[in-house]
Structure 1
Amino acid sequence: MAEVYGSARPRKRWGRRLLITFVVLLLIIGAALVAVDRFGASYAEREIGDRVAQQLTEQKATAEKPDVTIAGVPFLTQVLAGNYQEIKILLNKFSGPAGDGKTIKMDKLDIRAKDVNAPLDTVRSGNGDIVAATVTGVGTLTYPDLADLIGQEGLKLSERDGKLIGAAPFQALGQTFNATGTANLAVKDGVVSVTFADVTAEGLPNIPLVRTLVDNYVKQLAFNLEVPALPLGLKVQKVEPRADGLYVTTGASNVSLSSGGL
């Protein structure tokens, strides 16, 4: 019996060592795969960032270096499947031409490309098309910057109850009045139209002559905001007054990323 027990112990030790070795190998392989996965994702993110920066230059727009993140783990699984869940592109300090020598500025432009179809053969060969089902972008245009674009001296813009409110000094009958009105916002073909209505001024006589002066003044405040060309074919779809500025939503569908994206 002593010999039996003596022979079992070495086997048990050998089996334990084998199990430990196997676990260590799995950990090493797992760590290597994670490293390769992250390296591949980082490389792709840099490539996308470089191409977006190139687009900005071509469109005479500027921003800090694009911050690109490919969402979803693992990255290599998405490569093999030929489909990427989401690609995030953050442009800080974005600015671009807005027509008439003016510049539109956004402190941050947050772009998301979702459901990106990129077959492995296309990525490998460079032939074929890579398409994002949807691309959206959001940014905020501050009210002082928007007032500068409108160009009316003394104009102050703010948000009240979800509406854009404008206030500016108004000359009439040899006096200065503070006129206040609600702005109407409309988006058509990527152009944001700003017009004012219901303009009133405390203490201003309600007579036809004065009303005509007010109406003419209101027409001067009308402004078409031409949003500059954005990366990935984004077009303005919606604008919404918020406490910190005019919230701009852009979007596009079935966007080809082959020439300026992935």
Structure 2
Amino acid sequence: MGEVYSDGARPRRRWGRRLLITFIVLVLLLLGLAVAADRVGKSYAERMISDKVAEQVANQKATSEKPAVTVEGFPFLTQVARGRYDEIKIGLANFSGPAGNNRTVKMKLLDVRAKDVTAPLDTIRSGNGNIVAGTVTGVGFIDYPQLIELIGQPGVKLAAKDGKLTGAAPVQVLGQTVNVTGTAALTVKSGNVVQVRFSNVSAEGLPDNPIVKGLINSYVNKLAFDLRVPALPLKLTVQNVDAQPDGLKVTAGASDVALNSSGL
């Protein structure tokens, strides 16, 4: 025997199914709107910071491509609600700036990371107030061809060996050409200046006497130079310099930095 339905059972079941479908659609719409709002807010904050960093670069008479800003962490609106942000990445491609004596130092990329970032909700909404990073670090590379140009001595070759900067150059001593090699000490001074001084110099095939040593030392002194790193945005100051296979890795840092300020 087949099942027996009362007259109103099937319509009520259909009506309940429609309510469920409507509810699911509304939830999906709300989720879609929330995601859209999240993306819009994130894009606005990234544009604001990018514009301010670009102003800083210009104020320091430096140049770069438009700063590429990425606010890390999802969802963005949750971070806005608590006023804290996981990390903000700022990439300045083809950064270059004055380095004194009519020279320009270039970095293919200045990679900046801001952490422990705080900002009130009103700052994100209105643009008024500061987005402050507790710590900011920046890393860039200065390639060896630039350094060789700064040294200004013909035939110089630079490379990294065991984490240290090494130099080699042909030198005329006592009527013969010899290859002189040495290791450079890199010392960070105030004003974003890096002193490069060569020592532990050796030259194969030469007699070990004061005259030869004096000639070699005289040449080595000419290889010494000061590398002035251009003024960096976000109050970044050079903290460390390391020799890498393709050039010098420059690491800079700063604390309590307003990311959306156009001031230096």
In the superposition, the TM-score normalised over structure 2's length comes to 0.92
Structure 1 residue 256 corresponds to structure 2 residue 237: no
Q: How do 1:64-103 residues align onto structure 2 when only pairs under 5 Å count?
A: 64-103=65-104
Match of residue 222, structure 1, among 211, 221, 224? 224
* Structure 1 runs not aligned, ≥5 long: none
Match of residue 241, structure 1, among 224, 240, 243? 243
Could you tell me whether the CA contact under 8 Å between 1:158 and 1:166 is conserved in 2?
yes
> What is the aligned partner in structure 2 of residue 140 from structure 1?
141
> What is the aligned partner in structure 1 of residue 204 from structure 2?
202
- The count of aligned residue pairs is 260
Shift of 1:164: 1.0
Could you tell me whether the CA contact under 8 Å between 1:178 and 1:201 is conserved in 2?
yes
SS of the counterpart of 2:94? strand
Shift of 1:124: 4.9
Structure 1 residue 112 corresponds to structure 2 residue 107: no
Cα RMSD of the aligned pairs, angstroms, is 1.8
Structure 1 residue 34 corresponds to structure 2 residue 35: yes
How far apart, in 1, do the equivalents of 2:81 and 2:261 lie? 21
Alpha-carbon deviations, 1:119-162, whole Å to 9, x = none?
12445566554321000011111111222222222211001121
Could you tell me whether the CA contact under 8 Å between 1:232 and 1:260 is conserved in 2?
no
How far apart, in 2, do the equivalents of 1:151 and 1:51 lie? 37
Stretch of structure 1 that moved more, 221-230 or 143-152: 143-152
Q: Which amino acid aligns with 1:193?
A: Q
How far apart, in 1, do the equivalents of 2:96 and 2:123 lie? 33
Shift of 1:7: 2.1
* Structure 2 runs not aligned, ≥5 long: none
In the superposition, the TM-score normalised over structure 1's length comes to 0.93
SS of the counterpart of 1:77? helix
Structure 1 residue 192 corresponds to structure 2 residue 194: yes
Identity of aligned residues (%): 62
How far apart, in 2, do the equivalents of 1:27 and 1:151 lie? 66
How far apart, in 2, do the equivalents of 1:239 and 1:125 lie? 40
Shift of 1:52: 1.1
Structure 1 residue 151 corresponds to structure 2 residue 131: no
Structure 1 residue 231 corresponds to structure 2 residue 233: yes
> What is the aligned partner in structure 2 of residue 58 from structure 1?
59
